[in-house]
Amino acid sequence: MRLFTIVFERLPMVWLLLGLLFISGGLYLGFEYSLSFAYIFLGMGCSMYGLLLFIFLRRERPRSKEARRLSPDFISAGSTVVLPTETAESALSKEQDQA
């Protein structure tokens, strides 16, 4: 099923490329050729369809969930917590309490 999503995500680009190829083909043939206007209009239609498809796919794509607040006890890997250092006086008082 992953293959289908890859193909459908690329369809607007295919239509846009097809439209640009038709337009360039019509311009290459020149305006003296009777079907050059048909190539150009067909190319514009394909390009517009590709752009519309791109816009509609972007609008229909589900948005990612909004960020939730983390709990206050959560510690991330990149956070730094500075703990107070133990002073000599508090270490002496702990030793006296233990004795």
What is the separation of C-alpha 16 from the centre of its chain, rounded to a whole number of angstroms? 20
Burial of 26 (0-12, 13-18, 19+ CB in 10 A): buried
Task: Supply the DSSP string of 8-68, one letter for each residue.
Answer: HHHHHHHHHHHHHHHHHHHHHH-TTSTTHHHHHHHHHHHHHHHHHHHHHHHHHSPPPPPPP
pLDDT at position 8: 80
Is the pLDDT at 9 greater than 70, yes or no? Answer: yes
Question: Which pLDDT tens digit goes with each residue over 33-67?
Answer: 989 999 999 999 999 999 999 998 888 876 656 66
Instruction: Give the separation between CA 84 and CA 18, rounded to whole angstroms.
Output: 66
